[in-house]
Amino acid sequence: MVREFELPDVGEGVAEGELLRWRVEPGDAVSEDQPVAEVETDKAVVDVPSPVDGVVEELRAAEGEMVPVGDVIIVFRVDGEDGPKATETAPADDTTAGSGQQTEVGATAQPAEETQSEPAITQRVQVPAPPSVRRLARELGVDISSVADSSSGRITEPDVRAYASPESSTQERSSQQTTAAEQRTQQAAPAQSVSPAQTREVVDRETTVAVPKTRHIAAEEGIDLDTVPTDEQKDGEPFVTLEAVQEYAEAQQQAQQTDRDAVVERAAADEPARPESRKPYKGIRQTIGAAMTSSKYTAPHVTHQDEVDVTALVDARSTLRREAEAQDIRLTYMPFVMKACAAALQENPQVNVSLDEANEEIVEKQYYNIGVATATDDGLLVPVVENVDAKGLLEVASETNEKTQKARERSLSPEEMRGGTFTISNIGGIGGEYGTPIINQPESAILALGEIKKKPRVVEADGEETIEPRHIMTLSLSFDHRVLDGADAAQFTNSIQKYLQNPNLLLLE
Amino acid sequence: MVVGDVTTSTDVLVIGAGPGGYVAAIRAAQLALDVTLVEKGEYGGACLNRGCIPSKALIHGSKLASEAGQAEELGIYADPTVALDEMINWKDGVVDQLTSGIEQLCTAAGVNLLKGTAEFADENKVRIIHQGEGQGSESLKFENCIIATGSRPIEIPGFGFEDERIVSSDGALNFDTVPDELVIVGAGYIGMELATVYSRLGSDVSVIEMLEQALPSYEEDIASIVRKRAERLGVDFHFGYTADSWAASDGKAVLTAVPADEAAHDSDIELTADRILVAVGRRPVTDTLSIDDAGVETNAQGFIPTDSTCRTNKEHIFAVGDVAGEPMLAHKGSKEGEVAAEVIAGEPAAVDYQALPAAVFTDPEIGTVGLTENEAANKGMTPVTGEFQFQASGRALTANRAEGFVRIIATKETERVIGAQIVGPEASELIAEIAAMIEMGAKLEDIGSTVHTHPTLSEAIMEAAQNAREKAIHRRN
């Protein structure tokens, strides 16, 4: 028995994935649930497990290939069966049926019951769209099967354009409704610089009188006499002289030359010969791009900035770090900040929300899941630590370490990146002070931490003011001004400051 | 490309000038790339020289001869004699005309043509070994490469093609005389087409097939129409046997076939033949390329796996046609060749056809496209089918060719056409209409409501589509 295995929906509702790596080769024996491939979706890298015990017969996708969900990626031969014989029948429309010999070539053939090794064809998702429209979809980066999902009938060019950019298609549709006359004027509008000929009145007479030589020259120049401007008349009919024709022809040529120059100029401007290389914008990079663009342009971002004196926190961490090491846990500042944020969110529930625009509701969340933005070779991933409020510091630390490590190894599951209510981005690890982070939607706020630096600060003690070196960390809190106002952000930041200035307060949490 | 004794270079190197390679080369040249096409033999590949084209020529010639002699019903009395050597000469003329046409098209498009065998030196360089001893070789660097080396007939153990009595399809298209006795191993499309040719030309043809059906990859009701017709032409079928060995005797070959399944048949059979045609399939040509040196991966059968842009595991190396896997069809290769060239030129191309038509030039012909009813059901669809028998087609009757039928498959819920099988006169041409309809996303009604010329065979397509909707006029629905 041959078993064809289609790429399952490895995320939830992803349409395709990039086959990163095969973990098996044809001929390998596999057991059920053994990972056979790594697939990167726009959300994560996922191991695809084998559905059966058997032998890998054929790999139907190349590493690096984008595979639509539902396409056969691998074919297994299920145990208890011989491999194919050279003599078994070949698929339709190609190889000839065999007669029955084992050859040293594996065969190109399969038994009739499993005919039609036409994976690429028969497994193709049926899309009711003609080739020209499918090509347009690829050109515009539109997934044609998604367009199919949104329309019940045959997919047309306007459908694809509408899917690609809703606005332009509205214009397109409305222009389809304009009158033919209007359309003509639109089309006639000069695309390039205005040329002498175009500045003149446009003429189109019924009849024109001219001497034969003039007619001959006009024909040679490809000029319609009825369009040549003239004030002269002969026998009550418009009369065109040879000079008028020549002048008109010259103006036309000049106009065309101007257009040609413009085209050449544009082409030259398009292609500077500079050393540059290109790489595909796809996968996680593309997903981040889409998410950031969408966030920036839907949520009015405001960034509230402040600093916090973390001298006590630096001391607390250096003491606790040894305790943590004894338990094999690396203790960074991040778990303290996470605990502080969870506590501050509890004090400022208006920040722990997301906006459900579709239902015109603000969702207030009574759980505190904190995302930690993690730089990886492929871009930024945000693993989420759940219920930070309910976990101890060391528990938060070890879970955060584990998840950020997984993010760097690209082994996070989509579940581990979902359900956050607030995100922290530690830019200070690399350097820098203030930033304007972009909100990780559907959350409503994000906190960027600057580097902890020693800075001179005025310290009040016993009524005395002195300038002392203090450990200072900067805070940049971007918030969604649709649901939060400046006062909310300031209060929330003050809460965070309170816990970071005095980490002992976290003991009460 | 500068030719000299230094290493030269090219934007796109195409290896193999068959229907995949030459199309790729021409398209790449149209897209203003510098293209070099390397071919070791004749332009046009197996298709033009040893496959589609010469076989169709012989099929036509043999059909003319056999029909002229079998039309007493129409009041035509004739006893044609066939000079096979002259028919082969005519066929060779057709082949030459087409192959030289390919060469001219390539030259006119600005493709650099090189004669020789290409071997990869590394992933950016090939050595071109020129024909003949001492002709030397040259090296060629490439930015991108399209491998289009095609396929060759499979040999079976004990039946090597060294002996002139054992031939592949290549040899069977070039017999000097019509063999008195011809044994064909394999009842796939090549075996069945050539069985038809030589039985029409007067050979006693026997066909051995391991499975219990001719054309086993086609549905039984289609294959049996072709088998019955072949039996009426005098072809003997031995189903359930495999060719085991052969021995020379009195200048002839005596073939021993053994039961494929001991339970079904209990004894061996012996068949005497002037020629034994081995037609058990084709295998990709990837063994002559030093393909490992380019780092290009092949699968267990020797095919080069590719993605929907025809890319191999190497970003800049593509594979098209037979060498890139099943189905081995010239038109699939040509499509892939176009796509590979366009992808290299940065265009948004992909192999994304909705359905791939295919034809078998037996008597009657078979044309298929898309899914069968079973395949659709196995994919979880609910298929509806409509059929129309050529027995009810005025045009088929006037051509005295009323065997077979048109079957159209659509999905029940959308009535979108997803496949068709035609067995009958001109099926290979008729299938094109349905391929276009599927590609355009047509529904049953779109085909059924398109006015078809009367009286033509194509009306059967309209009627089959209407039958699926229970609206056919010339049959009970």
Q: How does pLDDT run across B46-80, given as a tens digit for each residue?
A: 999 999 999 999 999 999 999 999 899 999 999 99
pLDDT in tens, A345-385: 999 999 999 999 888 999 999 999 999 999 888 888 999 99
For residues B175 and B163, give the distance between their C-alpha atoms in angstroms, rounded to a whole number: 14
Band of pLDDT at residue A83, cut at 50, 70 and 90:
very low
Q: Is B78 a member of any domain?
A: yes
Q: Is B350 a member of any domain?
A: no
Q: Which residues from chain B sit within 8 angstroms of residue A135, using beta carbons? A: 348-349
Chain position carrying tokens 């030269």: B8
Q: What would you report as the CA-atom Rg of chain B, rounded to the nearest whole angstrom?
A: 24
Contact yes or no for A117 and B312 at CB 8 A = no
For residues B315 and A63, give the distance between their C-alpha atoms in angstroms, rounded to a whole number: 10
**pLDDT at residue B305 in the model:** 96
Residue A198 has pLDDT above 50, yes or no: no
* Whether residue B230 sits in one domain with residue B210: yes
* Whether residue B60 sits in one domain with residue B38: yes
Helix then strand then coil, % of chain B, to nearest 5: 35, 25, 40
**pLDDT at residue A206 in the model:** 74
* Whether residue B90 sits in one domain with residue B38: yes
The closest alpha carbon to A200, from A227, A225, A235, belongs to A227
pLDDT in tens, B129-188: 887 655 677 899 999 999 999 999 999 999 999 999 999 999 999 999 999 999 999 999
Residue A498 has pLDDT above 60, yes or no: yes
For residues A283 and A65, give the distance between their C-alpha atoms in angstroms, rounded to a whole number: 11
Band of pLDDT at residue A144, cut at 50, 70 and 90:
confident
* Whether residue A309 sits in one domain with residue A383: yes
Residue A192 has pLDDT above 70, yes or no: no
Q: Which residues from chain A sit within 8 angstroms of residue B281, using beta carbons? A: 86, 90, 95-98, 107-109
Single-letter code of the amino acid located at B244: D
* Whether residue A455 sits in one domain with residue A347: yes
- What total of structural domains would you count in chain B? 3
**pLDDT at residue A246 in the model:** 82
Which of B154, B166, B213, B220 is most worth mutating to test chain A (most A CB atoms within 10 A of its CB)? B154
* Whether residue B340 sits in one domain with residue B362: no
Return the CATH number at A418: 3.30.559.10
Residue A168 has pLDDT above 60, yes or no: no
Domain boundary among A57, A77, A97: A77
Residues 6+ apart with CB under 8 A from B461: B388, B406, B408, B420, B422, B430, B433, B434, B447, B452
Residue B371 has its nearest CB partner, among A89, A105, A122, at A122
Q: Is A428 a member of any domain?
A: yes
Q: Where are the alpha helices (DSSP H) in A165-275?
A: 166-177, 180-188, 196-199, 212-221, 242-270
**Chain B residue closest to A133 (CA)?**
B440
- What is the DSSP-derived secondary structure letter of residue A236? T
Q: Is A158 a member of any domain?
A: no
Question: Phi, psi at residue A473, to the nearest 5°?
Answer: -120, 140
| Active-site amino acid positions of B | 454
For residues B415 and B381, give the distance between their C-alpha atoms in angstroms, rounded to a whole number: 11
Name the binding residues of B for FAD.
Answer: 39-47, 56, 118, 322, 330
- Which residues 51-80 of A have a C-beta within 8 angstroms of B? 57-66
**pLDDT at residue A150 in the model:** 65
* Whether residue A309 sits in one domain with residue A246: no
Q: Does B59 touch chain A (CB under 8 A)?
A: no
* Whether residue B370 sits in one domain with residue B337: no
**pLDDT at residue A269 in the model:** 62
For residues B291 and B284, give the distance between their C-alpha atoms in angstroms, rounded to a whole number: 13
Mean pLDDT of A318-330: 91
Residue A101 has its nearest CB partner, among B243, B305, B370, at B243
Residue B394 has pLDDT above 70, yes or no: yes
The closest alpha carbon to B146, from B425, B391, B353, B349, belongs to B349
Q: How far is B441 from chain A (nearest CA, A)?
A: 4
For residues B198 and B362, give the distance between their C-alpha atoms in angstroms, rounded to a whole number: 12
Q: Which residues from chain B sit within 8 angstroms of residue A111, using beta carbons? A: 211, 216
Q: Is B475 a member of any domain?
A: no
Interface A-B, measured as beta-carbon pairs within 8 A, has a size of 215
* Whether residue A437 sits in one domain with residue A330: yes
**pLDDT at residue B133 in the model:** 56
What is the helix (H) or strand (E) element at residue A3, kind and residue range? strand A2-6
Return the CATH number at A53: 2.40.50.100
pLDDT in tens, A461-496: 888 999 999 999 999 999 999 999 999 999 999 999
Contact yes or no for B282 and A58 at CB 8 A = no
* Whether residue B308 sits in one domain with residue B201: no
Residue B188 has its nearest CB partner, among A86, A95, A116, at A95
Strand partners, A306: A475
Query: CA–CA distance from B234 to each of B56, B60, B204, B205 (Å)?
Result: 21, 19, 7, 7
Domain boundary among B311, B345, B379: B345
* Whether residue B370 sits in one domain with residue B341: no
Residue A248 has pLDDT above 90, yes or no: no
Residue A18: which domain range?
2-77
A114-133 per-residue burial string, b: 16 or more CB within 10 A, e: under 16: bbbbbbbbbbbebbbbbeeb
Mean pLDDT of A82-90: 36
**pLDDT at residue B262 in the model:** 82
Residue B327 has its nearest CB partner, among A64, A96, A118, at A118
Residue B39: which domain range?
7-153+283-345
* Whether residue A315 sits in one domain with residue A392: yes
* Whether residue A242 sits in one domain with residue A326: no
pLDDT in tens, A399-442: 999 999 998 888 888 888 889 999 999 988 788 899 999 999 99
Strand residue runs (E) in A351-487: 353-356, 361-364, 370-376, 379-381, 384-385, 422-426, 445-449, 453-461, 464-480
* Whether residue B340 sits in one domain with residue B370: no
Q: Is B161 a member of any domain?
A: no
Residue A171 has pLDDT above 80, yes or no: no
Residue A459 has pLDDT above 50, yes or no: yes
Residues 6+ apart with CB under 8 A from A352: A345, A346, A364, A365, A366, A368, A421, A422, A444
Residue A58 has its nearest CB partner, among B211, B299, B313, at B299
What is the helix (H) or strand (E) element at residue B383, kind and residue range? strand B383-389
The closest alpha carbon to B412, from B453, B460, B380, B388, belongs to B380
**pLDDT at residue A156 in the model:** 87
For residues B24 and B310, give the distance between their C-alpha atoms in angstroms, rounded to a whole number: 11
Domain boundary among A77, A103, A130: A77
Q: Is A136 a member of any domain?
A: no
Say which range, A178-192, A447-461, B363-377, has the weakest mean pLDDT. A178-192
* Whether residue B266 sits in one domain with residue B180: yes
Residue B102 has pLDDT above 80, yes or no: yes
Q: What torsion do the CA atoms of A236, A238, A243, A249 make, to the nearest 10 degrees?
A: -170
Residue A11 has pLDDT above 70, yes or no: no
Which comes out higher in pLDDT, residue A4 or A454? A454
Query: CA–CA distance from B301 to each of B1, B284, B304 (Å)?
Result: 35, 8, 9
Q: Is B474 a member of any domain?
A: no
Q: How far is A137 from chain B (nearest CA, A)?
A: 9
Residue A88 has pLDDT above 90, yes or no: no
Q: Is A62 a member of any domain?
A: yes
For residue A116 the two structure tokens come to 């039609």
For residues B137 and B38, give the distance between their C-alpha atoms in angstroms, rounded to a whole number: 12
For residues A261 and A264, give the distance between their C-alpha atoms in angstroms, rounded to a whole number: 5
**pLDDT at residue A266 in the model:** 67
**Chain A residue closest to B323 (CA)?**
A108
Q: Is A292 a member of any domain?
A: no
Domain boundary among B299, B321, B345: B345
* Whether residue A393 sits in one domain with residue A330: yes
Spatial contact of A96 and B186, defined as CB atoms under 8 Å apart: yes
Residue B37 has pLDDT above 70, yes or no: yes
**pLDDT at residue A446 in the model:** 97
Q: What is the mean pLDDT of chain A?
A: 79
pLDDT in tens, A332-356: 999 999 999 999 999 999 999 999 9
Q: Is B214 a member of any domain?
A: yes
Query: CA–CA distance from B154 to each of A37, A132, B200, B285 (Å)?
Result: 32, 39, 26, 11
Q: Is A245 a member of any domain?
A: yes
Return the CATH number at B267: 3.50.50.60
Q: Is B428 a member of any domain?
A: yes
Q: Is A279 a member of any domain?
A: no
- What total of structural domains would you count in chain A? 3
Which of B47, B147, B210, B381 is most worth mutating to test chain A (most A CB atoms within 10 A of its CB)? B210
- Which residues 294-313 of B have a C-beta within 8 angstroms of A? 299-302, 305-308, 311-313
* Whether residue A220 sits in one domain with residue A309: no
Residues 6+ apart with CB under 8 A from A204: A226, A227
Residue A386 has pLDDT above 60, yes or no: yes
DSSP string, A11-79: SSS--EEEEEEES--TT-EE-TT-EEEEEE-SS-EEEEEPSSSEEEEEE-S-TT-EEETTSEEEEEEES
Return the CATH number at B396: 3.30.390.30
Name the binding residues of B.
Answer: 39-47, 56, 118, 186-190, 209, 279-282, 322, 330
**pLDDT at residue A457 in the model:** 94
Q: Is A385 a member of any domain?
A: yes
End-to-end CA distance of chain A: 60
Domain boundary among B280, B299, B320: B280
Which comes out higher in pLDDT, residue A244 or B209? B209
* Whether residue A233 sits in one domain with residue A339: no
For residue A40 the two structure tokens come to 């990167």
**pLDDT at residue A197 in the model:** 41
Which comes out higher in pLDDT, residue B93 or A15? B93
* Whether residue B451 sits in one domain with residue B366: yes
Residue A85 has pLDDT above 60, yes or no: no
* Whether residue B272 sits in one domain with residue B375: no
What is the helix (H) or strand (E) element at residue A412, kind and residue range? none
Domain boundary among A77, A99, A130: A77
Residue A115 has pLDDT above 60, yes or no: no
For residues A30 and A22, give the distance between their C-alpha atoms in angstroms, rounded to a whole number: 13
